Amino acid sequence: MRSYLPFIAANPRFLTFGVLATLFSSFGQTFFIALFGGAWREAFDLSHGDVGAIYSGATLVSGLTLMWLGRLIDRVALWRYTLAVCLALSGACLLTGLVPSAAMLAIAFFTLRLTGQGLLSHLAMVAMARRFVATRGKAVSLAAVGHPVGEAVFPLVAVVLMAALGWRGAWLLFGAVLMVGLAPLMLWLLRGAERDRGNGATATKGMAVQAGNPGDRSLKQVVRDPLFFAVMFCMLAPAFITTGLFFHQVALAEAKGWSLSWLASCFIGFAATQTLGGLGTGTLVDRFGAVRVLPMYLLPLAAACAVVASFDHPLTAAVYLGLAGVTAGAGMTLLGALWAEVYGVAHLGAIRGLVQAMMVLATAAAPGLLGWLLDGGIGFSAIGLGCAGYAAGASALLTVLRASLLKRIQAA
């Protein structure tokens, strides 16, 4: 971990830019939006199922839209793309604070999911992967630290502001802060970052890629590559499993006999192991490459699901979330580094846009599918075993695919 200190010292502004992008993507993440579910049900006379259906539909459409908007980062200067995304997220928060009906709430969900979970996270990962080569793993893992920090900090902020200002006032304040605070700060960090370039940074002025290397693959080539979809089937496991379990965490707590406050407190452990998992994986990626590390990262998630399936003791919650956090952190680092390693950076925005869209679609499908299983009388023991089987099987498949990925890199 000490190897991170000189790297941070050499690139403080650009790394801070990445951390802030992932941090403020929290406003479009499920863990944050779900905090306001009760207020929306009361305001618009909606059931749990109504809010879930609206949310899943909006998430699905946002994922499809992301495939188009994500590729624009390949053609537009980074500062323009950053400004547009920050202002769009600000507008999404303001819209959420002003929604007069359930129909407008659906539009608000769509804009929050697209700009927060989608574009702002996409922006951070593409920018890090493009700028850094030899230290790409460290850069991506450091930028991803914003995710667990947001998970640890923003829920409390939201609860306090809802109590003080109401849910509408809270969202209006979020929008104002993003507009007058985050957007100018991000642009300032980008301007200063040009003076930081060093210690693994490459000269990608403006960050809109122009030519690329002969081995770089276009999006059309990638979508014709069966290897890409085989790997993505495996890498969608964490997004699908954790979103499904997190969305139904109240039902999980009731089934296990855990208090909801205890389960919520265990998310601090999730944030901690997510950070450690991401930073540790970053060091391994820089040393061995993302492809060689890939098969191992799903094993903690498989163990977490097996724990959920097998035990009811309250400490089970801490163990389950701690193990899941390791995979979540490692996955963010690997997703940021892997595709640049395999397909190059010339079309990285378009490729990561597709990847991010697939992740969003997985998060849209999980709550409904797990809810359908629970409604059908299938308990968390069976669900946990099924999820453990998916994660373990995906890890085994990645082990088989690793040789093909390495050949692809060597041939580029």
Supply the CATH classification number for the domain 4-411. 1.20.1250.20
pLDDT of residue 194: 54
- DSSP string spanning 145-211? THHHHHHHHHHHHHHHHHHHHHHHHHHHHHHHHIIIIIHHHHHHHHHHHTTT--SSB---TTS---S
Nearest of 411, 348, 68, 69 to residue 202 by alpha carbon: 348
pLDDT of residue 193: 60
Q: Tokens 């830019």 map to which residue?
A: 17
Instruction: Please report, for the chain, the start and end positions of each structural domain, with discontinuous segments joined by +.
Output: 4-411
Given CA atoms 18, 24, 25, 26 in this order, what sign does their dihedral have?
Answer: positive
DSSP 132: B
Residue 381 is which amino acid?
S
DSSP 337: H
User: In angstroms, rounded to a whole number, what is the distance separating the alpha carbons of residues 36 and 162?
Assistant: 9
pLDDT of residue 32: 87
pLDDT of residue 267: 83
Chain segment 357-383, per-residue pLDDT in tens: 888 888 888 877 888 888 888 999 999
The Cβ-side half-sphere exposure at 352, using a 13 Å CA radius, reads 32
- Interior/surface letters 190-225, b for 16+ CB within 10 angstroms, e for the rest: beebeebbeebbeebeebbbeeeeeebbbbeebeee
- In this prediction, the residues of the chain whose per-residue pLDDT falls under 50 are 197-211, 214
| Residue 51 · residue 367 · CB < 8 Å | no
pLDDT of residue 117: 86
pLDDT of residue 396: 96
pLDDT of residue 1: 64
Sorted by sequence, the CB contacts under 8 Å of residue 106 that are 6+ apart come out as: 54, 57, 58
Q: Give the DSSP H/E element, type plus range, for residue 249.
A: helix 249-256
User: In angstroms, rounded to a whole number, what is the distance separating the alpha carbons of residues 350 and 348?
Assistant: 5
Chain segment 325-352, per-residue pLDDT in tens: 999 999 988 987 888 888 887 888 888 8
Sorted by sequence, the CB contacts under 8 Å of residue 224 that are 6+ apart come out as: none
